[in-house]
Structures are given as C-alpha cells and as structure tokens.
Amino acid sequence: MAVLAPGGRVLANHEYVDRLEHSYRPLLEEFFGEAIPEEKFWNPDKILCVDDVQISEFTRQRCDKAAAMQLVFEDWVAHVLRYLIEKTGSNHLVWSGGCALNCRASLTLLEHFNQDFYRRLDQGTGREERTLHIWVPPTPNDAGGPAGAAFALAFQAWPQPEVVGSSGGAGLGVPSLPPAWPLPHAFLCGQGPSLAEVDQALKGHSDVKSMRLELGEDDLADFMAYVISHDGVMGIFQGAAEIGPRALGHRTILANPVNPQTLEVLNSRVKLRERVRPIAPMVTLEAAQAMWHLEPGASDSSYDAYRYMVQCVRAKPLAQEKVPAVVHVDGTSRIQLVRESDGLVHKYLKRMGVRCGVEVSVNTSLNVGSPIVQTPEQAIGSLLKSAGMHAILLVADNGIPTLVYGTADDGKLKDGGRQLLQWLDEWRGQSRGG
C-alpha cells in the first residue's frame, strides 16, 4: 500500500490506488454530479458555487442534497440513540468525534428525547421527570481526543482525597483533586503574548500604525462597545488561544449583531468567504435566557456546552427582532455563553447592553483565508488582508492593550484609520464629559 522513497519519505504505492473506475461511479455522478476537478478541490467556493445559489439550478440541487444528507444523518443518530436508551434506560449521552461537531444534530436529539419521551419511557416506574443530557466535549474532533485521553489518565493517576496523607500521596507534593473536575478553561492552550512580542510583531510593518491604550479593563470594554455600536469591526487577540474549530473571545472578530447588514459585511469584506456562511453570537447568561430557548440537557453543575459553542439553540422572537445578524435562516444560533470569569469579554458584553441595548456581540474567528491566528504577527496579517476590519486589539499578558490599524487608503473600503481615530476621539470626549 505504501513505498519508502529516497530521503525517507513514505508515499502511496500507485499500483494499489483505486481511481473509482467501478460500476458504481455512474450512480455517484448521477446523484452528486460530476467529479470535482483537482484544481477546485480545496476551494469550497469553487466546489459549491455558493454565490450562485439563488440563480443556479445546478447549485440549488447540490444544496438540496446537502440538506437531505443532514436530515438523514439526524434521523440515523436518533435511531441509534433510541436503541441505546431503550437498552440502558439512561438519559446521559457522551458524544464525541467529528460528528459531534454537528451542533444542529445535537439540538435535534435534545428536542426529540425530551421530558415527554422519557415520561412515556418511564411510565409506571415511579421515576422523577427527566430529559436527555448530552455531554459534547469542548473539542470533540481529532485535536481534542489526545488531550482528553491525557486528562483521563491524569485523573486515574492523581492521588485521590482518601490517599492524601499516606506515604504515597504525600510524597508526590501535589494537592488532591475532587472526584469530579469542572472544566472552567477547557478551550485555552498556551499563554498570551508578552508586550515585547507585540512590539516585535509591529516592527517591520510600515503599513500599520499602533498606539498604547492607557485604559483599565472597564474603560477598554466600553471603548470596544462604542466602536462596535457604531458598526465598527474589531479583532481582539488576548490571553491563551482557543482549542477547537471556533473562536471564544481570545482570537475573535467583534461586530454589531443589531445591524442586519453585518453578515454581508463580514463575509464579503472582512472574512472574504461564501455569503451563505452564518455568524455566531457571544452573550451573557441573562441575554441568552431572554433571547434564546436554552435546553436544560445542554448543561449541568460542572459543564455547560453553551460556553464552548458545541450546541446551537432556537431563537426567540426577541432575538430575531433585536439581533438579526446572528440568527441563522433556520431560526437557530450557535451561541457562546460568556461568564464573569472571562473578565474583559464579559465586561464588553455588559457595555454592549448599555450602548446597543443587548448584551450580545458577533463572535467570529480572527482569521482571513487561513487557520485561526496564533501569534500577534498573524493577527496583523489578517488585519491587512481584510478590507473591512477597522482595527485589532493586541492585549499583552500584563493587560496592556495596543490598538493597531492599517494605513492604506484606497478611497473606498480602507481609509487609513480615519474613522477609527474619529471614534476614539468621540469616545474620549464622552468619557471626559461623563
């Protein structure tokens, strides 16, 4: 199946490669269309032609087939889960692997295996009311599996309370841990940038300007909310990086959820991606409870799936009215619930409540045509690639923020920072007046 090439490289043995020259290929092409040419294979725009979705019948057929596959997938998962529930009587599901990232399917399971389902299942048993609880790890894909395995091994090897104080436990010099460990920061990896690293990233960039913002966390949060409430678009790079296929406020682009045009602006000018791609909100608990239907089976005392964007929820009419930019066409949102422990982001959302009337913000990953950024240099690169991002905030590990903006002025989308500096002056004037 493989051969060892000169230099130690392992290559596929072409004698064993199956080119799909089989009798079932015509059937596949009849259903899915002709095979994708190699030059288009890694570009989803070229594959789906999603920008032609309203005018191309061919593209519409592909979208219909994708929707049908989603429905079949949801039905299949529900069928398997129903069998397991009937065999075990359990109402707890741990779901991992790439399929668990299908948050729309998770919502279907929570809605289907609800209190009514379990009431019928438990009829005559005397059990209390219950519903399905789904535990989707923060990073259920291949990147999270090894971390979870290491975490499980550490739990097994760590001295438990009953052995601490004995010769074995005391000799390790480590504190005991509770039998159940909460996951307050399951999405964080590594450390934030130092101020020196921020300065080093800025050196050699004549196409950006920067300034230190001598602001405390409260004032910085209010300035961020002021810019976003005026339809500004700002990236934030702070602290340790997120693990997993989403941003959670540490490598994030912020935008106004109230303006229905925000989706178009982000996709066409900022992220430079397909127009049909939805955007997600970050919200406080109070805003989430008021604007979305939170499923009780998505959280418990030690874990809340809504903190990690591995569940989606149905929007209430209030959300569709107040924050249309972050409600998908199917009436759902993939929310991130932000708690007080995430200081700057939570304070920013509270100030959004003052500035915009909703403790909600657009939250999309800080990247433009690349994986989510991991360094200040990469963050600056995304700012320069984008045509619609006004600035990025690079927050050093000592809490000092640096505001960075591009100097290019094309007379259209890029203005050399004029609008941003105007907002900064206006905000400072308001702050002094207050």
Digitized pLDDT (tens) for each residue of the chain, 434 residues in all: 555 555 445 565 555 545 545 556 677 677 667 766 655 554 555 555 555 555 566 567 777 888 899 999 999 999 999 999 999 999 999 999 889 999 999 999 999 999 999 999 999 999 999 999 999 988 888 878 887 788 778 777 776 554 444 343 333 444 455 555 555 566 677 788 999 999 999 998 999 999 999 999 999 999 999 999 999 999 999 998 988 788 999 999 999 999 999 999 999 999 988 888 899 999 999 999 999 999 999 987 667 889 999 999 999 999 999 999 999 999 999 999 999 989 999 999 999 999 999 999 999 999 998 889 999 999 999 999 999 999 999 999 999 999 999 999 998 889 999 999 999 999 999 987 65
The sign of the dihedral angle between the CA atoms of 23, 26, 29, 34 is positive
Query: How far is it, in rounded angstroms, from Cα 306 to Cα 243?
Result: 15
pLDDT at 261: 96
pLDDT at 92: 94
- pTM for the structure as a whole: 0.82
Query: How far is it, in rounded angstroms, from Cα 254 to Cα 236?
Result: 8
Instruction: Kindly report, residue by residue over 104-157, the tens digit of the pLDDT.
Output: 999 999 999 999 999 999 999 999 999 999 999 888 888 788 877 887 787 777
Instruction: Kindly report, residue by residue over 48-77, the tens digit of the pLDDT.
Output: 555 555 556 656 777 788 889 999 999 999
Query: How far is it, in rounded angstroms, from Cα 410 to Cα 412?
Result: 5
Query: How far is it, in rounded angstroms, from Cα 407 to Cα 409?
Result: 6
- DSSP code for 7: G
Nearest 10 degrees: Cα torsion 58, 61, 62, 68: 180
Query: How far is it, in rounded angstroms, from Cα 81 to Cα 409?
Result: 56
